[in-house]
Amino acid sequence: MLTDFSQENRRKFIRFAWAQDRLPADDDEFQRSHTRLLIKPPAKHYSNPDIALPRADTCFFNIELPRYSTRDIMELKFLFAINQTVTMNADEENMDDDQQNNPDYSEEE
């Protein structure tokens, strides 16, 4: 998916996922900084994952990626997330707070 993104959207993806403006310049810098991207399932359960947005733990370069039904939906959700994210503070209210009233949303305890 990222190979299909423009350079600008790739930069936005790195900013969304890691809160940095660029990746390390070379393999040595990756090793020195212990940089790696971890993709993990979301902490919340969605009865319809296609309504969920990807989430990022920017301190750790982790992405919570719902199991979307198609690649096209995943790409649309990422494009929305990287272009609409205005804060990296998970303590602030966000779109997920509105989803709790959505019948397709359920949170596992």
For residue range 21-32, list pLDDT tens digits in order.
888 888 898 888
pLDDT at 48: 96
Q: What is the pTM of this model?
A: 0.70
Helix (H, G, I), strand (E, B), or coil: what is residue 62? strand
pLDDT for res 93: 54
What CA–CA distance (Å, rounded) separates 28 from 6? 26
Angstrom distance (rounded) from CA 87 to CA 11: 16
Q: Which two tokens stand for residue 76?
A: 């649309």
pLDDT of residue 71: 96
Mean pLDDT of the chain: 82
The helix/strand/coil state of 79 is: helix
Q: Which residue has the higher pLDDT, 35 or 48?
A: 48
How many Cα atoms sit within 13 Å of 71 on the Cβ side? 3
pLDDT of residue 40: 94
The tokens of 68 are what? 């979307």
